[in-house]
Structure 1
Amino acid sequence: MRSYCCMCALLIALFCQVSCLDVVIGQYGETIEIPCNKGALKPKDLYMIKWKYDNGDLLTKPKDKNVSVVASNDYKDRVSMDENSSLLLAAATLKDEKTFTCMLVGPTDISEYPVKLQIRKAPARVEIMERAAELKIGTPTQLGQCSAHDAYPAANITWYKNDKTLVDNQKGIRISSTQTVDKTTGLITTASVLHYTAEKEDTYAVFTCGTQNTSSFPVSFTITYPTEKISLHAISDVPLMEGDTLTLTCKADGNPPPTSFNFHIQGKEVKVKNSDTYTLTNITRERTGEYKCSLIDNAAMVDSMNITVNYLDMSLEPSSMVTKSAGERLALHLQVNASGTPILEAWTKDNIKLDKQPKFDKLTYADSGKYEVVVTMGTLIKKATFELIVEGVPVIQRLVKERKGNQHKVLICVAEGYPKPSVTWSVNGTSAVESPYVNGTITHKLTIVPRVNLNVSCTVSNELGESSQQINVSTYSSEPNDSTKLVVGVVVSLVLAAVIVGLAYWLYAKKSRQGSWKTGEKEDGSNEESKKLEEKIDEKLEENSQKVEV
């Protein structure tokens, strides 16, 4: 039983020597720190610290003395020891993967602390090489080779499509790997080859490969596949109007896409090379119909569409210059023909918008002008114009006079006619003013100072004839309308004076007769007084009459 326990203890000790070692992982090419006794503090009474490896000693440090390098091989210039008694190993290589032992010599015993060193190195670079020129749908193709250079241990490479991992399924995806060891450094380059069977949706796919910490640049591929469908499109404003430009384009879903097509324009075949478009300019309603496009090398691959060209026609009578006489009738005839619903935008006369279509049942000079009508439908705009001239012998519409100050009179003559009438007066005057000739009407003003009562004529004339009117112009004092209040006052005064004189004469005559009866005088005396009274009355009447004339 005791021998059995001793054997178990020996096996456990041997196992710990192999598997219970401390492990330090260092990076290739760098300085690696290997701690002694996991960095625990060393006893103060140590006689010596020594670092060694399987094939010999590396360095020693006696108590109270400096470190002494005892290695004679390539470690001579690469090893040192820090203050914590850790071994410093510079420019680590794969050959440094071994067990290093720290030995502590004390007064009563010797302790050893072995440490296993492992070297790691990430790939220097990861890249996709030997890329395929293109991928053909349904055909297995070597997409590329992903290489992870100079790694240790060998890198594991993973392929990705659109950031999703690709797994070898021995069908559309096959992945194989190889490894190459550098004889000098011992570093390993791994090459992973991806064979891939593309699908149409891979047209815009992005492929990458990578290791745990390093990835390649993304790459994409041209995916080729035959045309399965073509489509015809019209590039133009909708709806299509007469006068527009129609561009047809024929698209195919193949890759690379076809470069030449046949366009069938209303039954006529047009071959277009190195382009997928065909353009028709200034199209008309006759272009309405069926259009097709097809592959030049496969007429069965075809697509078609119906195209409608909208139109708008408008006619107006009259459509040019028309001359009519005043009082006549002019009929307007507007006709619109369209493929859709037209909109009557506006009627204008001399660029001024009218509320509605004009009617000319009895033409006047004011109807003269340039008329325009606008009709629209979508982007189509149609306009029609005519110019109307209403002519006739000039007619005086109004002849009046106005007072200006105490002595001046302003004569106003308003006339209509076409061509433009000229105005003349039978008297001379000043400050003659003529208004602008608008809508066949002209106004002429003349200022005069009448010395006597006058009959003044206004005459208007043009090449078709003339007309004239008269107006009575009196001096300021005799003008009936100049002082109505004065006339009324004079008339009242005359009437009152006549009544007073008559009453006075009657009283006087009566008194005279009574006096003769009383005194017995003859009536001859009273007759003479009566005559004197009559003379005074006549003088009074004549005086009042003169006042009235003034």
Structure 2
Amino acid sequence: MALRDARSLLLGLLLLFHVWGAWAEVEVNMEDRVEVLRGDMAQIDCMFSSSGGIGGTVIQWFYVTQSGEKQNIYYQDATMNYVQKGTRFAERISVNGTGDTGGVVLTISDVQLKDEREFICLVKSQTEAAGEGRTRLKVFEIPDLPSIEGVQTGISVDEDNPSKIGVCEVKNGYPKPNITWYRNNVPLRVDRDVVKISPSTTTESSGLFSIRSELSVKVAREHKDDLFYCEVTYLVPGETRMTESDRINVTVYYPATAVNVWVESPKGKVKEGDSIELHCRDNGNTPSSLISIRHVETDESWDNNMLVLDNVTRLNSGVYQCTSLDMETFDEIAGETTVFVNYIDAAVLIPEDIAIVTQGQELTATCNALSSLQTRAVWFKNGEEVSKDHSLMLKNVSFDTAGTYTCVVTVPEMDGMETSGSLLVRVQGPPHIIKTDNTEIEETLETTVDLSCNVRGFPAPLVTWTTSDGQIRKTPSQKETEEGVQSVFSVKVTSDITAVCEAQNDFGSDNLTFNIKAKGNGVIIAVIIILILLLAILGSVLYFLYKKGKICGRSGKQDLTKQKSNKDNIVVEMKSDNTEEAVLLAVNGEKHPPSDQ
């Protein structure tokens, strides 16, 4: 009985173990996708669990071919592991982990585009239960920077269809990059009649993609300053990135609707003598327009959009018309501006040139100039300002009043507008000789003295000179001055002289006396005295030598007696009756005639 119960229990246990083995399951967990940049290393995790335990499991790795078949690349169990030879991954994969921890990692190095496949991790337990997981490997490549090129020729607003703006290109990206066009930071969408975008894709031999996009737009006048660029978006592991191209602007041709004419320089008012630079420009943009400038008053024209007039006069004033002609449509538009050249004429003085006024009377003079602008007048005499008015008032005139008055007329509004005139004022009256302190003169004999007589008065006085010898002389060096005359008289001093300058006109006369005192020439006297002193000294020396016997004279025959007392002594005996025959006694005592000396 007991034996039979033991057998029944053993059979029940075996049946229970069999049922548990049939119910055992393996669960495998893997990421849906793993993303990696081309050339980097990819790691694919395979995590698993089993109701029957994880000991003694078999792990296999596969990838799915393009035809959908499973290709084994790795195998491992409790006793062995190996990489399947002959596959594309044989040299680039490794697996970390034994499975005892419930997970392994497949590592793929130097990932390439062709590695973008689905990878399968198959796990079998000891009870032959199996489970598998799948992960898709995604490979990415960052594309080159985008390039953009705009059309080099202009685009006309008259085109019926959209005109080509430019081409944007991005190369060597994976997966395929995307290009979006912008105008002034606003994305452009395809519009059949306004915007056309033509993309194209090229697959390079490396498997990378290059994208080219051509933009065409129907332009209008307001698009002349628009900036176009393209934006490239591309995928990288875990995110989407964006980069932009350079900005480009295209030339838009459009017809003119108005013409503008203006004076570029000088700024502000124009005066005679200036150089005018006149500019002309229409508001169109077309290579076939012709611009010309015409002076309406003279009908003179210039085929240019800029005109320079040098040294202008008031005759250059008037209307300047600028005309723009479209050579394709022959449409013509015009604009104009008025140029006024300010002027100032020569100063007009009343009285004119010369004013004659009698001493004690008054003089009123006026000065003005015809000008296009308000003027101001200032009077000057000898560089000093005497009046700030168009009128000059001179009261109780005197000889001090006489002279040249200059009137300067200016335009306060404009620098450089100026004219002037002069008025010579002569004051009628009897001559008046300007006294000088140098009328008493002391001069050396035989020198020449210049005597000057400055006379005020009008009409110009006649000056005569009278000397103490009674001679009356008219000086040839008389010259007129603004106040009267100046006379210079040259006289040679031979003795004391008195000279009288007399000036006379219709109103009276005046005179001035010069006294010249002659004095000896001190230099000559000094030389004579020095010569006399020298002669006196020379005579004294000669006399002294004679007394000492150092000098021999001749006076007829002379007897010379030789004395032997001293060889160094010379004895001379002179006979007064014949100095011609003097004989010198030599040092040696010998007697010689004078010719032998």
What is the TM-score of this pair, normalised by structure 1?
A: 0.61
Task: Give the SS at the match of 1:255.
Answer: coil
- What residue ranges of structure 1 are gaps of 5+ in the alignment? 1-12, 401-414, 427-437, 442-456, 471-550
Q: Quick one: which amino acid aligns to residue 97 of structure 1? A: E
Does structure 1 conserve the Cα–Cα contact (< 8 Å) formed by 2:314 and 2:342?
A: yes
Q: Quick one: which amino acid aligns to residue 251 of structure 1? A: R
Q: Does 1:308 align with 2:351?
A: no
**C-alpha distance in 1, partners of 2:365/2:270?**
31
Q: Which residue of 1 aligns with 2:137?
A: 117
Q: Which residue of 2 aligns with 1:494?
A: none
Question: Out of 409, 414, 418, which is 1:381 matched to?
Answer: 418
Question: Out of 25, 43, 58, which is 2:35 matched to?
Answer: 25
Q: Which residue of 1 aligns with 2:173?
A: 151
Computed over aligned residues only, the root mean square deviation of the Cα atoms, in angstroms, reads 4.7
Aligned residue pairs: how many?
409
Q: Quick one: which amino acid aligns to residue 207 of structure 1? A: F
Q: Quick one: which amino acid aligns to residue 422 of structure 2? A: T
Does structure 1 conserve the Cα–Cα contact (< 8 Å) formed by 2:357 and 2:426?
A: yes
Alpha-carbon spacing, 1:77–1:85, altered in 2? closer, same or farther (3 Å): same
Q: Which residue of 2 aligns with 1:341?
A: 374
Task: Give the SS at the match of 1:231.
Answer: strand
Q: Which residue of 1 aligns with 2:43?
A: 34
Q: Quick one: which amino acid aligns to residue 193 of structure 1? A: E
Q: Quick one: which amino acid aligns to residue 407 of structure 2? A: V
Task: Give the SS at the match of 1:157.
Answer: strand
Tell me by how many angstroms 1:416 deviates: 7.9
Q: Does 1:96 align with 2:115?
A: yes
Alpha-carbon spacing, 1:250–1:439, altered in 2? closer, same or farther (3 Å): closer
Cα distance per residue 1:92-129 (max 9 Å; x no partner): 22321212245678888877553221122333342235
**C-alpha distance in 1, partners of 2:85/2:430?**
139
Q: Quick one: which amino acid aligns to residue 40 of structure 2? A: T
Task: Give the SS at the match of 2:250.
Answer: coil
**C-alpha distance in 1, partners of 2:248/2:316?**
48
**C-alpha distance in 2, partners of 1:39/1:466?**
148
Alpha-carbon spacing, 1:359–1:80, altered in 2? closer, same or farther (3 Å): same
**C-alpha distance in 2, partners of 1:282/1:353?**
32
Question: Out of 89, 111, 135, which is 1:75 matched to?
Answer: 89
Question: Out of 294, 308, 313, which is 1:279 matched to?
Answer: 308
Q: Which residue of 1 aligns with 2:510?
A: 467
Cα distance per residue 1:291-322 (max 9 Å; x no partner): 22223555842222333222222312456566
State the identity as a percent: 21
Does structure 1 conserve the Cα–Cα contact (< 8 Å) formed by 2:96 and 2:106?
A: yes
Q: Which residue of 2 aligns with 1:289?
A: 318
- What residue ranges of structure 2 are gaps of 5+ in the alignment? 1-25, 65-69, 98-102, 234-241, 438-453, 469-480, 485-497, 514-597
**C-alpha distance in 2, partners of 1:317/1:351?**
21
Task: Give the SS at the match of 1:95.
Answer: helix
Alpha-carbon spacing, 1:268–1:176, altered in 2? closer, same or farther (3 Å): same
Q: Which residue of 2 aligns with 1:486?
A: none
Tell me by how many angstroms 1:24 deviates: 1.0
Q: Does 1:191 align with 2:212?
A: yes
- After superposition, residues 110-509 of structure 1 pair within 5 angstroms as 113-129=133-149, 131=151, 133-139=153-159, 140-182=162-204, 184-212=205-233, 213-235=242-264, 236-256=266-286, 260-273=290-303, 275-295=304-324, 298=330, 300-313=332-345, 314-318=347-351, 320=353, 326-327=359-360, 330-344=363-377, 346-356=378-388, 357-377=391-411, 378-379=413-414, 380-388=417-425, 390=427, 393-395=430-432, 417=456, 467=510
Tell me by how many angstroms 1:196 deviates: 0.7
Does structure 1 conserve the Cα–Cα contact (< 8 Å) formed by 2:48 and 2:123?
A: no
Does structure 1 conserve the Cα–Cα contact (< 8 Å) formed by 2:276 and 2:310?
A: yes
Alpha-carbon spacing, 1:370–1:260, altered in 2? closer, same or farther (3 Å): farther
**C-alpha distance in 1, partners of 2:430/2:79?**
144
Does structure 2 conserve the Cα–Cα contact (< 8 Å) formed by 1:261 and 1:271?
A: no
**C-alpha distance in 1, partners of 2:45/2:151?**
51
**C-alpha distance in 1, partners of 2:383/2:311?**
30
| Structure with the larger helix share | 1
Alpha-carbon spacing, 1:417–1:187, altered in 2? closer, same or farther (3 Å): same
Does structure 2 conserve the Cα–Cα contact (< 8 Å) formed by 1:58 and 1:69?
A: yes
**C-alpha distance in 1, partners of 2:380/2:300?**
47
Does structure 1 conserve the Cα–Cα contact (< 8 Å) formed by 2:92 and 2:110?
A: yes
Tell me by how many angstroms 1:187 deviates: 2.7
Cα distance per residue 1:193-239 (max 9 Å; x no partner): 22211111221221111212232222221111223322222333332
Tell me by how many angstroms 1:46 deviates: 7.9
Q: Quick one: which amino acid aligns to residue 333 of structure 2? A: M
Does structure 2 conserve the Cα–Cα contact (< 8 Å) formed by 1:367 and 1:439?
A: no
Alpha-carbon spacing, 1:129–1:62, altered in 2? closer, same or farther (3 Å): farther
Alpha-carbon spacing, 1:105–1:364, altered in 2? closer, same or farther (3 Å): farther
Tell me by how many angstroms 1:163 deviates: 1.8
